[in-house]
Amino acid sequence: MKLTSHERIMRIFKNEDIDRPALKLWGAGFPDEPQLHPAYQPVSDLAYELSDLFVGAGFRFNIYGGMELPAYQEVWREDTAHPTWKDEHTVLHTPKGDLHMIERVSTVGEPSYTTEYMIKEPEDLEALLSLPYTPFPIDTSDYERKVAKLGDRGVVMASLDNASYAFHRMMGSETLAYFSVDERELLTEAISVYSKRLYDHTKAILDAGIIAPFSWVGPELFIPPLMGPKDFDDFVFNFDKPLCDLIHDRGGYIWVHCHGKTGKFIDRFTDMGVDILNPLEPPKNGDIFLQETVKKHGRQIGLEGNIEIQELLQASPERVKMLIDECVEAGSKSGRFILCPSAGYMEYPFPEPAYIENLLLYLRHGRETVEKYHY
């Protein structure tokens, strides 16, 4: 059996037999799209040639206010002491008072970070929820364009926001932890409001005829080391399972990204309806020993990842090869394995030559290795 990348990925979603494990470089897509740095272009070209591509497609959506948000939002930037960093101020003039956030933004592509969160007290959360909300109409053109362009080289996934994650963006991990104890009822009510908006948005996408894999990130904020099993059930499972059921009932599939210690949560992700879980981090960041995970869960869920991005950033070529060999050997036994790094490859604006070489090595050796494991 010889499958195209599209067929291989979709069979992993469906838990059907495949010809070999899949190979993914997270973030790789169309090589004619802009690269964060020119050094990434050979990596993008090789990924398009050798890997199984996952491409995200967006549908216009804003969970906080939808089409109403611009009327209540004020944004401006100020200089900082460093010429490549700006402070971006966002003020929401809500019916229950103003909310203020400061994001330190790089002008050269570095990751931004928040220096002041919008939600600091319970009344701030109530103010955020007081914003009027009107959903955007569904525009399928981005999805349809990418499907036509990608062809059989991979799969286009419909990208969704996540209700719980939406609040973390506004309050950060520390305040979220306090609220999960001191304001648990209010936090639960708030997540339920955003979950309903997301459910309706997803239903509208499905109603528009888009039957596809859907993808989102966010559950990592509600598992160890940040939170525990009850938090995961109360703030993630209880709200995301109806969304998964909706997607499955209409013929779609679910891909979820969750950093952290996911080993004890795989059954819960499976019960929730997740078809592929990413990125399955090994220690120290995670707790996935892939051989044990495969032995315990078998084909229960699609397994994607298990190569830490810092290994590609820092490890020797010999170690990168060894990690790939071990991962594919263990993961192949599941029948639903996708070799993948734990983060997007193009998240560093000034890549070192050794990193670029390791990315190219990952693609070449990864393809050679997955080809050895034909089912």
The domain locations on the chain are 5-68+119-371, 69-118
**What is the reported pLDDT for 225?**
85
Residue 375's pLDDT is: 85
> What pLDDT is recorded for position 110?
87
Dist CA 332 CA 352 (whole Å): 31
3-state secondary structure string across 133-188:
CECCCCCCHHHHHHHHHHHHHEEEEEECCCHHHHHHHHHHHHHHHHHHHHCHHHHH
DSSP E strands: which ranges in the chain?
A: 22-23, 53-57, 73-79, 85-94, 97-106, 113-116, 154-159, 213-217, 253-257, 276-278, 302-307, 337-341
User: Residue 16: its pLDDT value, please?
Assistant: 97
- Residue 38, classified by CB atoms within 10 Å of its CB into exposed (0-12), middle (13-18) or buried (19+), is exposed
Q: What's the pLDDT at 311?
A: 96
Residue 1, pLDDT score: 84
**What are the structure tokens assigned to 36, written together?**
């964060």
pLDDT given for residue 117 in this prediction: 97
Q: Determine the pLDDT at residue 234.
A: 97
Contact predicate 111/49, CB 8 Å: no
Amino acid found at 124: D
Q: Mean pLDDT per 10-residue run, the chain (375 residues)?
A: 96 97 97 94 98 97 96 96 95 97 93 94 96 97 97 98 94 95 96 98 98 95 90 97 98 96 95 97 93 95 97 97 98 97 94 97 98 91
Closest CA to 220 of 343, 332, 353: 343
| Model-wide pTM > 0.85 | yes
pLDDT (0 to 100) of residue 114:
96
What integer pLDDT is reported at residue 205 of this predicted model? 98
Rounded distance between C-alpha atoms, residue 68 and residue 136, angstroms: 9
pLDDT for position 321 = 98
CA–chain centroid gap for 88, Å, is 24
- CATH topology classification for 5-68+119-371: TIM Barrel (3.20.20)
Name 363's Cβ contacts closer than 8 Å, sequence gap at least 6. 23, 25, 43, 46, 47, 50, 51
State the pLDDT at residue 300. 95
Backbone angles phi, psi at 338, to 5 degrees: -125, 115
Cross-strand pairs, 157: 56
pLDDT of residue 226: 86
